Structure 1
Amino acid sequence: MNKRNWLIFEDTRQTPEARAAFDRAVAQVNDGTAQVRKLSGESIRGFVVDGQKILGQAVLEYVLEGLSGASRDVSPAGTPVPPRGAPAAPFDAESARAFAERMRLLLGWHDIDYLLHRWVDRRLRDPHFVNKGNDWREQWVLKEGADPAVVSDGLFRFACYVAICDLKFGPSYASVSAERIFNQVTQLGSDLPARLKRDGTGELPGELAAFRGAGMSARANDALAVVRITVQEESEAAYAQALGYLDRLLSTTDFPRSYAIEFRGPTKTYLPIKGLPKKGVHQLFACAAAYPALHPAIEAYARQAMREYEWYTNLDAEDCAMPGSFAVFALGCASAAHAPLVLDYLALADGEHQSMHGRYIEGYVDAHGFTREAIAYLLACAGNIQHLRHRKTYAARIANADSLGWLLEARRRVAGDAPSSIAALRANLLGECVDEAAFRAARHAIWGEQADKDRGGQVIRKAPEALRALYTEIFADEPGR
């Protein structure tokens, strides 16, 4: 019908044939027979109905416009304009939510979130609020004479559904847009955001929304993305129940993947790593790791929780950390047997924004020296952190044949590892291969700037004769492979 070769929502305003194609697509989504197809490239996806391609998100827009009474008068911007003082037009929030959920499962949240936010803005924000700020720092306040009575309760419920999906399925920064929607709904007179923040959505199973076991209790609020765990009696059993609760919460529900763990317990134990924030989530895993029998459960939690670009939301910005961080650190401190988990974590962590893993490496070296595992951690961290700082104690601690040999061995092996985005960017800026850029960053952390400048000349000259060949290869431009 057009040179795009697929239909968009605006086409439904033009021809009955387009509306009929959309109606058939909606029917397929509702009866579970719809199949997502690539319409063009990797990013443009939708459906093919009787040979006609239809943009996926346009089908959702078509349904929402129909449920909102799009045939009413609209402003030039497309916003429905009810008569001043008219009662709120009904909006079938449950039907809208049910269809949006089907589309989310088919297309993914990232394909429909922009459309849903634009739709909510047109009906909730734009008619009733004005931006007193600017494009960079928005400040939406109620318009003079705004009449909340013209907004239906169904629209409030659907807007809050979009906000909660932001928390559950969006990136960590989507919490900003979620809170904006909650604030606007509240300013328009609804107590729904307050009830959600107090009680959650009501979608969590009762045994997860509130759980009580022997010596511990837990509550979860999926609207706030907060888990509260209290251990009353210090015991292996109590921590086992807490870990089992977290595993069920993350593995069986759509609980937000950026979240806060608030913990209270009788034992104020923390990991022997300088600079880690002494928060409840840190205390929880430091205490649980004291029981070796719980290590498999701690690792199971960590692997459930670890997701790049997700965060523990109750840590300060300078202490930001991917969920699972303290569980990984606790196991890594407990035994070298957990090295595969630590290395998986270091490869996944968002090194552009997080630096906490650098503190873990420092604490590990302080405790264990430059073991084979410590060197593997150092190189992994060097490849996935913006700045790995030099420490004066490192040069003396690595000055032995075993540690230097392990460092050379790791230099040869790391070439086969998948690079992080940080390592790739650094290598590109320096004009080096990825593995060598990470090795140089690790080498700087051990021997500092002077060794970089003279290619280790002073280090080599001062080294015992038995170690000079190792140092020479370490500071060579090309590794001996």
Structure 2
Amino acid sequence: MAGIEYLVFEDALRDEHARAVFERTVQAVNDGTARRVELSRGHGFETDGEKILGSALLEYALGLVPAAEFDATAAQAFAERMRRLFGWHDITFTLTQWVEQRLCAPYFGNRGNDWSPDWQLRDDVDVSHLPESFFEFACYVAVGELKHGPSYASVSANRIFDWVTKLGSSLPARLKKHGTGQLPKELAAFLGTGEAEGVTAKANDALATIKIAVKHENAASYAAVLGYLTRLLNTTDFPRSYALEFRGPTKQYLPVNKLPRKSVNQLFACAVGYPELWPAIAAYARAAMSEYDWYTNLEGENCAMPGTFAVFALGIAEAATGGTEFTPLVLDYLGEVDGEHQSLHGHFLAGYIEAHGFDETGLAYLLACAGNIQELQHRKIYPALVANERSLTALLTLRGVGEASGPSGVPALAATLRGEPSDDYAWRHALYAIWGSAAETRGADGRAGAKIIEGAEPGLRAFYEAIFA
């Protein structure tokens, strides 16, 4: 291709020399001697002075093998080596294209549309010749989407499972029942012992589901659950977006209005009742937190990043004791959560302020939320809660907090559209949450917050003037 200094897949089709270079590079990948190099557009390899685009090598290794000779185990091993070299995000398009070209395009028609596809087998197709190896590799790609892809890759995974099932294979059904078989037995199915007797846990890495049950309400039971979850996430490649389902003897939930009363809420509301388990709850939260991943059994306005309820539980419980050990964890969570698509952290913040007012910790949470959420709700009680020297001093101290890490997503875009620095937007967002529209009302001199300053107690007026300066 003109202007490109590396070989692409088409070069292997039309040029024997290029094909020989591809063959030697495939062998180097299999031998473990291939090394990733940077290209002018993307990443690839260099063999005998020739550069090759990485995705082109993967397409070559998979695409030129006849159906009768296709070895799913060898193809999976090669794809895994490529994943370790380049990451899943660099190979997923090539892999899913292979599935579409080999299993979808020749046999299916879309009776729906591009937005809502309905893939059905065409009446005139014969699928009896399809090898099981095709189904095995396609399901490997589907499971890879769940394990390594973004949360929305579950759509691609389920579509592949659907194609393979309609083509006559029982492999998706077996995977959905038993998982891939790659999880250690003690993590695929766990049974508590001793004081934790009655704890059961099952994890399915093909479905991305974790099902936990606790029979006896005691610290040992929840310690076993937390240890299990943390080991599962830290020692395996279990999907980062997953459904976490829980059954336990105590029906209680975190004391925050508008949080979904779901079983994952119940789990951490119960576990946090044992202070000796707080470090274990924090360890799970650290293992689970991942910005663009989700608890897949929570949807819409209830969507939540994994670790959400563990973090909220610690933030609420520790505040009741006056401690701050886990405040950095809460702040890290508020900075990492996908504020474009999640709003539950706004409810947590409101619950904290209602219980503890605008103390130093609550204001730190406010500024973190303001920089990473679409909208913070103003409440009528907030101006009175903040009207004291301690709160106003803490607010002024935190004014520059947004400079280290500006807001993400929609707030950052809004700042850009308004032509103001992102940290200024986060600060103004926080002020609006406290004082509502009065924070943006300007006086004759053009200063925002004029009404608030005018109505302030004389002893606090200097603080308000500094806040709205």
Report if TM-score (shorter chain) is over 0.5: yes
The correspondence for 2:450, drawn from 442, 453, 457, is 457
Q: Does 1:258 align with 2:241?
A: yes
Aligned twin of 1:135: 114
Over aligned residue pairs, what C-alpha RMSD do you find? Answer: 1.4
SS in 2 for 1:165: helix
2:159 corresponds in structure 1 to: 180
Moved over 4 A (4+): none
1:427 and 2:420 equivalent? no
Partner residue in 1 for 2:395: 407
Question: Are 1:295 and 2:278 counterparts?
Answer: yes
Query: Could you say what secondary structure the match of 1:375 adopts?
Result: helix
How many Å separate the matches in 2 of 1:110 and 1:413? 33
Shift of 1:457: 2.5
**1:127-178 CA-partner distances (Å, limit 9, x unpaired):** 1101112223222111012222121111111111110000000010010011
Report the secondary structure of 2:7's partner residue: coil
Match of 2:347 in 1: 359
CA positional deviation for 1:421: 3.6
Which amino acid in structure 2 is aligned with residue 162 of structure 1?
V
1:384 corresponds to which residue? 372
How far 1:426 sits from its partner (Å)?
2.4
Mapped to 2, the partners of 1:385 and 1:360 lie a distance apart of 12
Shift of 1:405: 1.0
Q: Which runs of 5+ in 2 are unaligned?
A: 319-323, 443-447
- The answer for the alignment partner of 1:231 in structure 2 is 214
Mapped partners of 2:285, 2:30: distance in 1: 37
Whole-Å Cα distance in 1 between the matches of residues 229 and 331 of structure 2? 23
Deviates more, 1:193-202 or 1:457-466: 457-466
- The match for 1:81 is none
What SS class does the counterpart of residue 97 from structure 1 fall into? Answer: helix
Q: Which residue of 2 aligns with 1:78?
A: none
Amino acid aligned to 1:288 = A
- Match of 1:147, as an amino acid? D
Preserved contact between residue 299 and residue 328 of structure 1 (Cα < 8 Å): yes
Q: TM-score, normalised by structure 2?
A: 0.94
User: Hey, what does 1:96 align to over in structure 2?
Assistant: 75
Are 1:272 and 2:255 an aligned pair? yes
Structure 2 counterpart of 1:463, which letter?
A
By how many angstroms is 1:419 displaced?
4.0
In 2, distance between residues paired with 1:260 and 1:274? 23
User: What is the SS of the residue equivalent to 1:203?
Assistant: coil
Match of residue 321 from structure 2: none
AA of the residue aligned to 1:460 = I
Number of positions where the alignment pairs a residue of Structure 1 with one of Structure 2: 455
What letter matches 1:11 in structure 2? D
Instruction: Give the match for residue 18 of structure 1.
Output: 18
Find the aligned partners of 2:306 and 2:316 in 1 and give their Cα distance: 17
Q: Say which SS state the counterpart of residue 309 (structure 2) adopts.
A: helix
- The residue aligned with 1:206 is 185
> In the alignment, is the contact (CA less than 8 A) between 1:383 and 1:422 conserved in 2?
no
Q: What is the 5 A alignment of 1:443-454?
A: 443-454=431-442
Q: Distance in 2 between matches of 1:279 and 1:467?
A: 44
Structure 1 range deviating more: 57-66 or 301-310:
57-66
2:445 alignment counterpart = none
Partner amino acid, structure 2, of 1:303: R
Query: d(CA) in 2 for partners of 1:313 and 1:417?
Result: 28
- State whether structure 2 residue 138 is matched by structure 1 residue 159: yes
> Which residue does the alignment assign to 1:57?
55
Q: How far apart, in 2, do the equivalents of 1:132 and 1:63 lie?
A: 33
Q: Does 1:67 align with 2:65?
A: yes
| Paired residue secondary structure (1:156) | helix
**Distance across 2 between alignment mates of 1:217 and 1:351:** 34
CA contact (8 A) 2:438 2:452 kept: no
**Retained in 2: the 8 A contact 1:90–1:154?**
no
- Specify the SS of the correspondent of 1:121: helix
Correspondence for 1:249: 232
SS at match of 2:245: strand
Structure 1 alignment gaps of length 5 or more: 70-88, 477-481
Whether the aligned pair in 2 keeps the contact of 1:210 and 1:218 (CA below 8 Å) is yes
TM (norm. structure 1) is 0.92
Deviation, 1:262, is 0.3
Match of 2:464 in 1: 471
Tell me, in whole angstroms, the C-alpha distance in 2 between the residues paired with 1:179 and 1:371: 47
Letter in structure 1 aligned against 2:90: D
Q: Does 1:394 align with 2:382?
A: yes
Counterparts of 2:56 and 2:439, CA distance in 1? 59
Percent identity of paired positions between Structure 1 and Structure 2: 58
**Contact map agreement 2:406 2:422 (CA 8 A) in 1:** no
Q: Given the alignment, which residue of 148, 164, 173 partners 1:169?
A: 148
Which string of whole-angstrom CA distances, capped at 9 and with x for unpartnered residues, describes residues 84-113 of structure 1?
xxxxx3531111111111111111111111
Q: Which amino acid aligns with 2:150?
A: P
User: How far off its partner does 1:413 sit?
Assistant: 4.1
Q: Which one of 349, 366, 370 corresponds to residue 337 of structure 2?
A: 349
Aligned-residue offset at 1:60: 1.3
1:131 and 1:413, CA in 2 relative to 1: closer, same or farther beyond 3 A?
Answer: closer
Aligned to 1:329: 312
8 A Cα contact 1:263 1:284, kept in partner: yes
Native 8 Å contact 2:136 2:171 kept in 1: yes
Q: Which of the numbers 188, 213, 223 marks the counterpart of 1:240? A: 223
Q: Is the 1:67–1:96 contact (alpha carbons within 8 Å) kept by the matching residues of 2?
A: no
CA shift at 1:379, angstroms?
Answer: 0.8
Contact 2:406 2:412 in 1 (8 A): no
| Matching residue's letter, 1:153 | E
Q: Tell me, yes or no, if the aligned pair for 1:90 and 1:152 is still in contact at 8 Å.
A: no
1:286: how far off? 1.3
User: Cα distance 1:13–1:413, how it changes in 2: closer, same or farther (>3 A)?
Assistant: closer
- The partner residue of 1:106 within 85, 107, 116 is 85
